[in-house]
Amino acid sequence: MAQLLHPDFKAGITHAEATAADKKTHDLLMEQQDALKAESWDYAIALSIQMRENQLRVYKPGSSPIGGTWNALGSIYKQAGRLQEAEDAVEKGLAIYAAVCDYNEMSMARETLAAIKEAQGQFDEARKVRLEGKDRKEISCTSDTCPWTSVPFRMENGGLSKMFALEELKQCAACKAAFYCSKRCQKHDWKTRHKPLCQKHTGAV
Ligand SMILES: [Zn+2]
Ligand SMILES: [Zn+2]
């Protein structure tokens, strides 16, 4: 009996083909973890592109897994300081999520894009991107170590991160472009990421 595959897969793909492709993606991801730890950005980027080619053999080009790979590539470009390429990749991921109405992934991808905008010094854009989730109460916390977007939380919560209404979040008083679910998240992001960007933007250095 033919097993029904998730609709993200292309028509006519067999269960064996899908499983083999997912295993290969997993292996490439593991290899990429090592490359990221070693800060071998070019190699990590090459692995992302290889991952997408592998996924495209079985997944529809407009499916959420492909969107995820675009986003992950955007994050790596960002870490590598290649901000324009980072933005282009995340925009591709966002377009896919929008088309398939994957609001949770969209919320997290918007946060990635907003962080890229901050790194480019475009704080008005960063604020605008983050607030795109306002009407649906789907704003992600700005901290990249927020417990509500962490992998363990998402694994327990059907793959979904927690999203917030604007009133639930504290905004950075200086730039008003960053939004936090807790004091802990705000403090941590200030210490590890936001401070130099925010001070440069507001001229507080
Ligand atoms: Zn948080
Ligand atoms: Zn700020």
C-alpha 185 to ligand 1 mean position (Å): 5
Confidence grade of residue 205 (pLDDT, cut at 50, 70, 90)? low
**81 CA from centroid of ligand 1 (Å):** 24
* Paired tokens of 67: 């969107």
Query: Which CATH fold topology does 1-101 show?
Result: 1.25.40
Cα 116 vs. chain centroid, distance in angstroms?
A: 11
Question: Separation of 168 CA from ligand 2 center, angstroms?
Answer: 17
Query: Using one digit for the tens of pLDDT, what is the confidence trace for 161-194?
Result: 999 999 999 999 999 999 999 999 999 999 999 9
- 142: pLDDT strictly greater than 90: yes
Mind listing the pLDDT tens digit for each residue in 21-67? Answer: 999 999 999 999 999 999 999 999 999 999 999 999 999 999 999 99
**Distance from the CA of 133 to the center of ligand 1, in angstroms?**
16
Determine whether 30 is exposed, middle or buried from the number of CB atoms within 10 Å of its CB (0-12, 13-18, 19+): exposed
What value does the mean pLDDT of the chain take? 95
Ligand closest to the CA atom of residue 178 = 2
Cα–chain center distance at 1: 37
Residue 147: both structure tokens together:
């417990």
Provide the percentage of residues in the chain whose pLDDT is more than 70. 98
For range 127-148, the mean pLDDT: 97
Among all bound ligands, the one having the nearest atom to the CA of 170 is: 1
Cα(161)–Cα(102) distance, integer angstroms: 12
Q: Which ligand gives the minimal distance to the CA of 183?
A: 1
> Which numbered ligand comes closest to the C-alpha of 185?
1
Phi and psi at residue 79, to the nearest 5°: -60, -35
Q: At what angle do helices 41-56 and 64-79 cross, to 10 degrees?
A: 170
Tell me which ligand sits closest to the C-alpha of residue 114: 2
* CA 67–ligand 2 middle distance (angstroms): 29
Distance CA 4, CA 142 (A): 38
CA of 45 to the centre of ligand 2 (A): 30
Cα angle at 31 between 27 and 36, to 5 degrees? 140
The interaxial angle of helices 195-202 and 103-119, nearest 10 deg, is 60
Name the closest ligand to CA 180.
Answer: 1
Cα 126 from Cα 161, distance rounded (Å): 20
DSSP per-residue codes, 14-64: -HHHHHHHHHHHHHHHHHHHHHHHTT-HHHHHHHHHHHHHHHHTTB-TTSH
